[in-house]
Amino acid sequence: STLFGEIPQHWQYKRLRFVASKVKTGTTPSSKKKDYFENEEFDWFTPGDFNETLELINASRKLSFEAIKDKEISVFPENSVLIIGIGGTTGKVGLIRNEASSNQQINSITFNKRIIPEYGLHLLAFVGRNLLDILDYTTLPILNQTATKNLPFLEPPVDEQEMIIGEIQKVRNNSNRSVQIIRKEIANIKEYQESLITQIVTGQLKVPDNINANLSQNN
């Protein structure tokens, strides 16, 4: 596959439909029944809930269990990967740990037992970033169920999937540590800057004459 470059010979190149036990599309319950939206009991994800962590933990909107009872929404199994199928964020993915639902802009992929959900998540995150090349679109692509099932997928052995997940986690941990260090340094610089300004304004720190002269010339 051109998309994935060279891959180990024992890895299998497949279409998503051959590694998924379920592919479902979300739904929006009827607005005529306000009860569906009054009791916040069940996660109902929309594209705005997707983030860089790739985990979908707490939906900004929730529905009552009554919507499930009335079969107004699709219920996705735990550890499913959700992928946005339409709009400016088409191809973004997120993993749900518990049963959840979504609106009709999102498809849910539940993998079979040969695929570890976290591996499927990261593989589809890569695929989602390259949708324009995969689907040969010049404008924003639309991922309906058929297109989602036809997405390319790589299936390594399960033990290698575990190794891949572990390596990705190491990289993310190192990246997070670097971000925290940089943020701390920025905070220290801002604090120092504010301290200097306060000292100058209150006369505790005098500005050298040569700096004053330069400021006057620039003005």
Residue 171's pLDDT band (cuts 50, 70, 90): confident
Q: Got the DSSP string for 141-161?
A: ----HHHHHTSEEEE--HHHH
Beta-carbon contacts of residue 21 (< 8 Å; ≥ 6 apart): 110, 111, 112
Give the tens place of pLDDT for each residue, 192-215: 787 777 777 777 777 666 555 554
* pTM, to two decimals: 0.78
Q: Count CB neighbours of 61 within 10 A.
A: 14
Look at the block and give the residue holding tokens 């594209």: 47
For 16, residues 6+ apart whose C-beta sits below 8 A from its C-beta are 23, 109, 148, 149, 150, 151, 152, 153
Q: Which 8-state DSSP code applies to residue 171?
A: H
